Amino acid sequence: MKSKIGLTKKLIAGKQEYPFIKKASTFSSPSISTTSINKAYDYIIVGGGTAGCPLAATLSQNFSVLVLERGGVPFTNPNVTFLENFHITLADLSPTSASQYFVSTDGVFNARGRVLGGGSSINAGFYTRASSR
């Protein structure tokens, strides 16, 4: 099955799986690896958000790239994938939530994305811009 962006995905036990997404526990540390082959990357991008994913896609055309994202894959989370549920993600305080609350240095409560796609996955397409004054 082809996704909208042209990448092949498999259906396994009713779930869509993308072959390029691997859980961190599937990677071996080079110091404890049982194989003699160590994978080296030209670039390692920390954060698979609004900037990290396009940067990785661009760099991967000519270089070997590893993207590290601490959150999960949003495709199976209905609170992320359906616009009418985005407020549920913002109210979810569980450890498996796609959002994480924090208080900024000036005392404002905020939510940051803890999922592939970052804040863009949890904000329903809204954005704010600071006052010019």
Strand partners for 18: none
pLDDT in tens, the chain (133 residues): 444 444 444 444 445 566 666 666 555 555 544 554 567 899 999 988 888 989 999 999 999 999 988 887 877 788 887 878 878 888 888 877 888 888 889 998 888 888 888 888 887 767 677 788 7
Contacts of 89 (CB under 8 A, 6+ apart): 77, 79, 80, 97, 98, 99, 122
Residue 65: per-residue pLDDT? 92
With vertex at residue 14, the alpha carbon angle to CA 77 and CA 17, rounded to the nearest 5 degrees, is: 70
Task: Tell me the CA end-to-end span of the chain in Å, nearest whole number.
Answer: 51
Distances (CA, A) of 3 to 9, 43, 45, 68, 118: 7, 25, 23, 22, 20
CA distance 84 to 105: 31
- Residue found under tokens 């904000």: 123
The DSSP call for residue 95 is T
